[in-house]
A and B are shown apart, each in its own frame.
Chain A
Amino acid sequence: MVVRIRLARFGNKHKPVYNIVVAQARSARDSRPLEVIGTFNPIPQRPTGLSDEEARAARAYKDISLDRSRAKYWLGVGAQPSDGVWRLLHMAGLIEAKKVPNK
């Protein structure tokens, strides 16, 4: 069975927070995973403590915490990231971007 790196949804209604987890592919989304390697907050945060000019130019940010060494290990032993996690890991510089087949 495939081991996947995927997101597990926590938080309340309209306030999602995700754990980035390593789990068996056929297990339920929020069941206890093999390992939690980070979190992903999809709600954009406004950066604070900036001057007026900086605040105008600043982008809202999405907060991610990730244990890079564990992520590398699980990728190395063949864990398959889901599409969402693939994008995050690509941004973190751990894997190549996913090739999207032309339609």
Chain B
Amino acid sequence: MFKWLNAQGSEFKHHTPGETNYLSKLDPKLNEKNANGILEKPFPLNLSFRSEPILSEDLRNEIYNRVVRMQRSVRGVSVELGVDMRRVAAVVRLVELENKMKEQGKSLAIPYARAIHEMVPTTPLYDDAREYRSNPHENINDLPVHRLTDPQIFYPVSESRQFNRIDAGRAFSGAPALLHRDAARMAAEPDETIRRITQGDFRQIETVGKGEDEQQVLLPADARIPHPHLIANDRNRISHGMTEPGLVRTKYYKRLDQEMEVDQKRKERAQQRRERTIHKVQPENSRFEFRFRDAVVSAQTTGANGRGSQAPGHRYGVPSYDRKKGQVKIPTRVKV
């Protein structure tokens, strides 16, 4: 080991700021740099692994600034800076934590952070806003593959009919096809259709199946992505972008505002619903608050034999396999 450290390895002892310090530097075959002049394959034996850029300090501060100080929506900031919404939210939480640590007078590992930022590729804070579109930190419109779309389905469609994403969603969830009249109307005004789905009432989403098998009809991919308004914007850009770019931009901001407003209303309604169903009591002689939720005891919930899983409380005569061998308690799924 010391032989290597004193010979070849000595090159890695000190890094050059702004350049990666990866093992592949030694291999002339792997020593190819990307467009930004950065060596991005750290492992000589795993060539398919690329080290993705991380947020630079400036970009991170800008995200926090826009969300917290300027009160912009997380969705909007995610679009403007080309960063995933979940990452935007994480940045806000972590900077908040950092501020709290500073307030408490705890020491921060700043030299360590600086050294790491010098050694890995980072996404800088661009001056030109258009750079974020052409060169985003991550593809914000990535869509996780829905489980319903896994099977291959042979679905005969007449040649005279347009088969679009809405129809595909219905075919995958086994719902009957739309009436030709409705399908034609939806295809004629795609933006309005998607807006009605994403900003309308979610309770109106159609369902198929009965009882326990009931499930919602799979929505078109345009409605399931986190930023549906981007598709509307692209459609607008393609049709009007060359002649009236200003109009496209104003429309885009209008759409963002509209979405924010609807989101706000939805949140308020959810809060009101929660407050309606929960009865809070704060007795004077107690340190605690007591929250009464409504439970339903009926033939539907407790079932004919009184062992229904919907019934309130712990169930009788139903063994808990909590401590039994082979029970996996590690969550196998993460809901995004």
Nearest CB on B from A83, distance (A): 15
Complex contacts, B311 vs chain A, CB 8 Å? 36
Complex contacts, B295 vs chain A, CB 8 Å? 37-39, 65-67
Interface centre among B287, B294, B314, B317 (most CB of A within 10 A): B314
Is B189 interfacial (CB-CB < 8 Å)?
Answer: no
Q: Assess A32 versus B289: contact at CB under 8 Å? Given A38-B295, A39-B312, A91-B283.
A: no
CA distance A68 to B281 in the complex (A): 15
CA distance A62 to B294 in the complex (A): 14
Is B293 interfacial (CB-CB < 8 Å)?
Answer: yes
CA distance A62 to B293 in the complex (A): 11
The residue of chain A having its C-beta at the shortest distance from the C-beta of B317 within the complex is A32
Complex contacts, B287 vs chain A, CB 8 Å? 59-60
- B312 and A37: CB pair below 8 A? yes
Nearest CB on B from A54, distance (A): 13
Complex contacts, A32 vs chain B, CB 8 Å? 316-317
- A91 and B281: CB pair below 8 A? yes
- B313 and A36: CB pair below 8 A? yes
Q: Assess A61 versus B291: contact at CB under 8 Å? Given A36-B312, A37-B312, A67-B312.
A: yes
Is B202 interfacial (CB-CB < 8 Å)?
Answer: no
CA distance A67 to B313 in the complex (A): 11
- A61 and B289: CB pair below 8 A? yes
Q: Assess A64 versus B291: contact at CB under 8 Å? Given A36-B297, A91-B283, A92-B279.
A: yes
Is B112 interfacial (CB-CB < 8 Å)?
Answer: no
Complex contacts, B279 vs chain A, CB 8 Å? 92-93
- A67 and B289: CB pair below 8 A? no
CA distance A60 to B287 in the complex (A): 8
Complex contacts, A70 vs chain B, CB 8 Å? 297
CA distance A17 to B290 in the complex (A): 15
- B294 and A67: CB pair below 8 A? yes
CA distance A75 to B314 in the complex (A): 22
The residue of chain A having its C-beta at the shortest distance from the C-beta of B282 within the complex is A59
- B314 and A66: CB pair below 8 A? no
Complex contacts, A17 vs chain B, CB 8 Å? 314
Nearest CB on B from A93, distance (A): 8
Within 8 A of A (CB), among B267-291: 279-283, 287-291
CA distance A11 to B322 in the complex (A): 11
Complex contacts, B291 vs chain A, CB 8 Å? 61-64
Say which residue of A38, A44, A60, A93 sits within 8 Å of B313 (CB atoms): A38
The residue of chain B having its C-beta at the shortest distance from the C-beta of A31 within the complex is B316
CA distance A40 to B302 in the complex (A): 18
- B293 and A65: CB pair below 8 A? yes
Nearest CB on B from A20, distance (A): 7
CA distance A93 to B280 in the complex (A): 11
The residue of chain B having its C-beta at the shortest distance from the C-beta of A69 within the complex is B297
CA distance A96 to B313 in the complex (A): 25
Complex contacts, A39 vs chain B, CB 8 Å? 295, 312-314
Nearest CB on A from B321, distance (A): 14
The residue of chain B having its C-beta at the shortest distance from the C-beta of A61 within the complex is B289
For this complex, 9 residue pairs linking A to B, each with C-beta atoms less than 8 Å apart, are A10-B313, A19-B312, A19-B313, A21-B313, A59-B288, A61-B290, A64-B292, A66-B293, A67-B296
Which residues of B are at the interface with A, using a C-beta cutoff of 8 A?
A: 279-283, 287-297, 302, 311-314, 316-317
Q: Apart from A38-B295, A60-B287, A66-B293, what 19 extra A-B contacts exist at CB < 8 Å?
A: A10-B314, A17-B314, A19-B313, A32-B316, A36-B312, A37-B312, A39-B295, A44-B288, A59-B282, A61-B288, A63-B291, A64-B292, A64-B293, A66-B292, A67-B294, A67-B297, A91-B283, A91-B292, A92-B279
7 interchain residue pairs of minimum CB distance: A19-B313, A61-B289, A10-B314, A65-B295, A36-B313, A65-B293, A59-B289
